[in-house]
Amino acid sequence: MKYELPELLLDIEDGVIDLGWGHPSSTLYPSAEVINAANIALAGQSATAFHYGAAQGFGPFLESLNLFLSKEESYGVTSSPKNLFLTAGASQGFDMTCTLFSEPGDCVFVEEPTYFVIEKIFRERGLDVIGVKTNSDGICLQDLEDKLKKGIRPRFLYSIPTYQNPTGISVPRKTRMELVQLAEKYNFLILADEVYQLLNFDSLPPEPMMHFDKNNRVISFGSFSKILAPGMRVGWIHSSEEIIEKFAGSAYAFSGGGLNHFSSVIVNEMLKSGDIEINLFNLRTTLKNRSDVMYDALQNHFSSQIQFNKPEGGYYYWLKFNETVNTEHLLPIARKYGVAYRPGNAFSESGNFDQYLRLTYTLYRSDEIEEGVERLYKAYGRYLR
């Protein structure tokens, strides 16, 4: 039966290899393990999953999550379940953070370029969004300090410190420390979007932002969307006890009784059984292979006609063409050749990224990635003519 309304966010034209969507691959979801976990969680007519949950989140889930995060080498911050709060994904956490910690008219700094929806999320909350330049180390401290010295006082700095979306860059340790120092000096909160932190390939990323926080300046957002399944809508906030109490004490969390309690009861079983760790291992291996395939295809076809870095983890390639290319104009031609991507200007309101585009290697198989890059190269040839 055909429905009038869409089923999913994913919307791909027939015949197009769409390398624009930063979504996980349909073939990589561990469905059998999720079913098994659901069977265990719901066995014996247990009502636990069906009740309203605790406002901070389902206690056993928070404990399992804490154990998992402290054991994961790419995370490795020792804390306590009291430092964690259950969310229905990072996006929900951002919105709730705005409700609890900002007022309309406050200002928020974001990296330029950044996650393409975040500026709209902040604007929907009446915040004034100001872009901070980025460089090969991620956020440009000089530009940030210049703005602060000019007297601009943000309520938040939103940053994606590890395997950034869209650039793939990770902010070095030293810069992370300096960011926290600036947050203390100028009294703002760092919203660290760390949804890709656990998706490292060969080497470990720098420690997450909470590792550097001594004075309640960091609110970190994690998610099972990129490491399990986004449809389950389970994520977490990691922060100081004081800040977590503010989330847990909110009327919203109390009224709804834990966000999203039912799914977290199931994910808890997967954390306890070790299935999440196995899934993470499989994802790292497959995504690294797909990234290698994309790298080779880009090198083979484009060689020196574009600039890009090989990602050390995460989901993305960020390509820079020479200044005569406008990737928004290239896109309709690419679609005719059966491939799509996200143009650079989607990731910043500044309009400074005409020459850039973002590709994702997570959604498609290796042979489709090769084919997609080949189509892009042909479309680029057509565009130049």
Ligand X SMILES: Cc1ncc(COP(=O)(O)O)c(C=O)c1O
- Provide the binding-site residues for ligand X, judged by CB under 6 A: 22, 89-91, 115, 160, 165, 193, 195, 223, 225, 230, 235
Alpha-carbon distance of 281 to 273, in angstroms, equals 14
Q: Which helix (H) or strand (E) holds 357?
A: strand 356-360
Cβ partners under 8 Å of residue 84, min gap 6:
56, 57, 62, 65, 66, 236, 237, 238, 244
Residue pair 114/160 in contact by the 8 Å Cβ criterion = yes
Which residue is listed with tokens 């154990």?
67
Nearest to 255 by CA among 99, 149, 138: 99
Nearest to 216 by CA among 242, 192, 236, 194: 242
Pull the structure tokens for residue 97: 């953070």
Q: Least distance (Å) from ligand X to the CB of residue 381?
A: 31
Alpha-carbon distance of 139 to 142, in angstroms, equals 9
Q: Least distance (Å) from ligand X to the CB of residue 195?
A: 5
Q: Least distance (Å) from ligand X to the CB of residue 124?
A: 15
Nearer to ligand X, 116 or 186 (CB): 116
Nearest to 206 by CA among 237, 160, 241, 143: 160
Which residue is listed with tokens 């999440």?
276
Nearer to ligand X, 89 or 208 (CB): 89
- DSSP string for residues in 256-269: HTSTTHHHHHHHHH
* Residue 303 Ramachandran class (φ > 0 left, ψ -120 to 50 alpha, else beta): left
Q: Largest alpha-carbon pair distance within the chain?
A: 67
Nearer to ligand X, 90 or 340 (CB): 90
Q: Least distance (Å) from ligand X to the CB of residue 88?
A: 8
Residue pair 167/214 in contact by the 8 Å Cβ criterion = no
Nearer to ligand X, 347 or 380 (CB): 347
Q: What DSSP designation does 296 have?
A: H
Q: Least distance (Å) from ligand X to the CB of residue 13?
A: 20
Alpha-carbon distance of 317 to 19, in angstroms, equals 10
Q: Least distance (Å) from ligand X to the CB of residue 304?
A: 29
Nearer to ligand X, 117 or 204 (CB): 117
Q: Least distance (Å) from ligand X to the CB of residue 337?
A: 25
Cβ partners under 8 Å of residue 27, min gap 6:
365
What stretches of 206-281 adopt beta strand conformation (E)? 218-223, 235-239
Q: Least distance (Å) from ligand X to the CB of residue 378?
A: 28
Nearer to ligand X, 165 or 239 (CB): 165
Q: Least distance (Å) from ligand X to the CB of residue 283?
A: 15
Q: Least distance (Å) from ligand X to the CB of residue 317?
A: 14
Nearer to ligand X, 22 or 53 (CB): 22
Nearer to ligand X, 206 or 230 (CB): 230
